[in-house]
Chains A and B, each alone.
Chain A
Amino acid sequence: MRDVAVVSWAQSPTVRDAGARNEVELIMPVVQQALADAGLSSVQEVDFTCSGSCDYLQGAPFAFVAGVDALGAVPPIKESHVEMDAAWALFEAWLKIQMGHAESALLYGFGKSSPGELPHVLSLQLDPYYLTPLWPDSISLAGLQARAMLDAGLITEAQMAEVVARSRRNAKGNANAQLSGDVSVEELLAEPMYLPPLRKHDCCPVSDGASAMVICTVEKARSLGRPYAVIKGIDHRIETANLGARDLTRSVSTELAAAGAGVGRGKVDVAELYAPFSHQEIILSRALGLGADTVVNPSGGVLAGNVMMASGLDRIGEVATRIIRGEAGRGVAHATSGACLQQNMVVVLESE
């Protein structure tokens, strides 16, 4: 396994509604920024491009086709797309670099969730014959998971509120955050229930936005002359879609991916976890074996802004940025997909 460098990452502001801006208009600024920050002038200078998006967010097929129109793919480029979070686009590109078919790659993810009702759109991720017709929305399913945690005595409502208070506080330093501010645990617990046991602030907001990243071999990163962070380990695992067959109070697939990525091989200074609900941050921290010496979600995490299909890539970008700035020596980024953390990716990044 060869080291792969994260050279640049650009993120749009996460907003509730990007209005009339279409996908191309969301993607172009971050792609241009990521390329420029890597010292590259166009997509023609990378060996491979891969993106993540979901047609159902904007309600039209082939969301990624418009994305290609934003790139400047003339002459034609080597390009692929996953109907997943762009963290998996990074994985596809990482494989291309491992096999020597590419030295560098541009990745991007985008999501415009504002046109629909996201929690119900995600009902269509479930078993189409037995579950989707009942329209269980993503928040209700997360509520079942939180309830299982509370009933088993594995978390308290105060711990959930602490996650939210920290997210809002950390997000004050994140110019792209959608939600930030100082709010106490007591104030949060005084808020009414939304879908019990979840209060509205336990749930990530719905956001529009995009992000892009450039990765390359370490040799190429050196030739670009830019600072970089190094991907030392990466793994992703899925578990059953049948919620009744899973122990919802833990994340076995995250535990497997963490072992595969080698999280336990050293101290973790910083972790960015894709936890769309407050209680899930606790599940993930435990699955990753994180202790009190790890700073979790210094950006505020997705409770401060959640661009579907880009948030996983953003977690990698947040960790890489902190390593490049010298704020951390070793960090863990996490991405998820599916109801109640069904599918998870774990990435270990280190300084050069």
Chain B
Amino acid sequence: MAELAAVVGIGQTKYKTKHGRVSIAGLVREAAQKALEDADLTWQDIDAVILGKAPDMFEGVVMPELYLSDALGANGKPMLRVHTAGSVGGSTAIVAASYVQSGIYRRVLTVAFEKQSESNAMWALSNPQPFSPHLNAGAGGYFAPIIREYIRRSKAPADAGIKVATKDRLHALRNPLAHLHLPDITMEQVAASPMLWDPIRFLEACPSSDGACAMVIAHEDLVAQSPKPPAWIRGTAMRSEPTMYAGREEVNPQAGKDCAADVYRQAGVTNPRKDIDTAEVYVPFSWYEPMWLENLGFADEGEGWKLTMDGVTSLDEGGDTPWNCSGGVLSSNPIGASGMIRFAEAALQVRNDAGEHQVEGARLALGHAYGGGAQFYAMWVVGADKA
């Protein structure tokens, strides 16, 4: 049976367009060093290093774990590199947890990063593939038609996306590490920003960021060696389905529903809206908040936008289920790290260590990541309590 494990250290870099003063190695090392300091540990206390990032073409380095073994103190230790598209940061944390939950390793370091300024993600995502139509659309172009279908089905008001974009940027003002700090943000400003892929406006899309996130995950027996409260890993789940198949439900994908049901079962969550105090959910384009509210069971199908519009997901409006208090992917998006940031921010909340964006009294939190054509999912539930 699985051993009990917890997050005992978290480190993040500042997220910004370009970390011009550090190499890729310097970037990941900063996050890792901060996580170790947060856990009051040293490099010698780590048994294995698990690295995640999105496609190697984003920086042009093939299998960068090889080059980064020195910077991450992995020499002489096991090192593994996960890549599951946009969900990779979450998947990486789950694989790292399994090192400890298997009972084989005692304490591991996991790191995810992207240094988008060293290449061009739009190019890397739009490389022509043999035997496939060349879309050259990037992620926004891919998801826009799916969002339009959501709006058609749910009859959501046109400004639901604008509301999410504004809310998450207001959250980001509470998080000093967030990439976008837009102190004067208003719904009017978002509405007036240029339309990129109808209905996604410029300010309804995520930025392109450099950054790294790291966590130390420890076995139950070693948790007390770190000074801060642990975030107990109460459940982990991953699901995948093909990009396209006849009858695929793209607005409310089955893989996401199955993944959520699996992680909730492990964590004893029966009513996510009630049981989960706060969630960090992968929302790269504004409309994905109401869509994921439904997919993750926080709202009935077709009703997710009502929670958004009622301020249920807003920290500033005192909502009972704040989502993305860190500012979310809409405020910081180092792609390969974005999933791990969700997982780490969920852990920060239940450790009561999220500073200005802390949800008061948070005991149970969801971290969520998705990738590809919304076909890859990784989720975990972390808690202030062991069970």
Q: Which residues of A contact B (CB under 8 A)?
A: 1, 22, 49, 54-56, 59-62, 64-65, 68-69, 71, 73-84, 88, 91-92, 95-96, 98-101, 121-122, 124-129, 132, 235-242, 252-253, 256, 337-339, 342-343
Contacts and interface: CB of A to CB of B under 8 A. Distances in A.
Interface in B69-115: 69-70, 74-85, 91, 95, 98-99, 101-104
Contact of A238 (B74, B103, B243): B74
Interface of B: 1-3, 23-24, 55-57, 59-63, 65-70, 74-85, 91, 95, 98-99, 101-104, 118, 124-125, 127-131, 237-245, 253-255, 258-259, 372, 375-376
Nearest to A115: B130
Contact of A242 (B70, B91, B99, B103): B70
Most buried by A among B62, B69, B102: B62
29 contacts: A22-B131, A61-B125, A62-B55, A64-B83, A64-B84, A68-B241, A75-B254, A75-B258, A76-B240, A76-B241, A76-B254, A77-B239, A79-B239, A80-B82, A80-B95, A81-B84, A82-B81, A88-B81, A95-B104, A98-B104, A101-B2, A122-B62, A126-B66, A238-B66, A238-B79, A239-B75, A241-B69, A342-B69, A343-B79
Contacts of B103: 1, 98-99
Contacts of B78: 235-238
A261 to B, nearest CB: 11
B1 A100 contact: yes
A92 B67 contact: no
B343 to A, nearest CB: 15
B102 A337 contact: no
A237 B77 contact: yes
Given A68-B243, A80-B95, 18 more contacts: A55-B56, A56-B56, A56-B62, A61-B57, A61-B125, A64-B84, A68-B240, A69-B242, A74-B242, A77-B240, A84-B63, A92-B82, A95-B101, A126-B66, A239-B75, A337-B63, A338-B63, A343-B66
A188 to B, nearest CB: 31
B125 A125 contact: no
A128 B239 contact: no
Contact of A68 (B65, B75, B80, B375): B375
A65 B85 contact: yes
B57 A55 contact: yes
Contacts of A98: 102-104
Given A73-B241, A240-B75, A337-B66, A80 B84 contact: yes
B60 A124 contact: yes
Given A69-B243, A74-B241, A95-B98, A84 B81 contact: yes
Contact of A54 (B3, B62, B124): B62
B83 A241 contact: no
Contacts of B238: 78-80
B63 A54 contact: yes
B261 to A, nearest CB: 11
A196 to B, nearest CB: 26
A237 B69 CA distance: 10
B76 A256 contact: yes
A262 to B, nearest CB: 13
A29 to B, nearest CB: 18
Contacts of A240: 69-70, 75
A125 B84 contact: no
B60 A128 contact: yes
A207 B97 CA distance: 35
Contacts of A238: 65-66, 69, 74-79
Contacts of A82: 80-83
B370 to A, nearest CB: 12
A55 B55 contact: yes
A172 to B, nearest CB: 33
B55 A81 contact: no
A74 B55 CA distance: 25
B129 A95 contact: no
B255 A76 contact: yes
Given A55-B57, A82-B82, A241 B66 contact: yes
Given A56-B56, A73-B240, A76-B240, A84 B129 contact: no
Contacts of B129: 60
A135 to B, nearest CB: 13
Contact of B61 (A64, A124, A239): A124
Given A95-B102, A98-B103, A239-B76, A56 B81 contact: no
B63 A83 contact: yes
A96 B236 CA distance: 11
A65 B242 CA distance: 8
Contacts of B101: 95, 99, 101
B131 A125 contact: no
B95 A99 contact: no
A127 B63 CA distance: 11
Nearest to B87: A80
Contacts of B82: 80-83, 92
A84 B80 contact: yes
B102 A99 contact: yes
A55 B244 CA distance: 20
Given A1-B104, A237-B77, A238-B75, A95 B56 contact: no
A238 to B, nearest CB: 4
A323 B63 CA distance: 33
A305 to B, nearest CB: 21
Most buried by B among A75, A84, A339: A84
B63 to A, nearest CB: 5
Contacts of B237: 78
A56 B56 CA distance: 8
B32 to A, nearest CB: 15
A254 to B, nearest CB: 12
B62 A121 contact: yes
Contacts of A60: 127-130
Contacts of B63: 54, 83-84, 125, 337-338
B243 A239 contact: no
A88 B80 contact: yes
Given A101-B98, A256-B76, A126 B67 contact: yes
A241 B70 contact: yes
Contacts of B254: 75-76
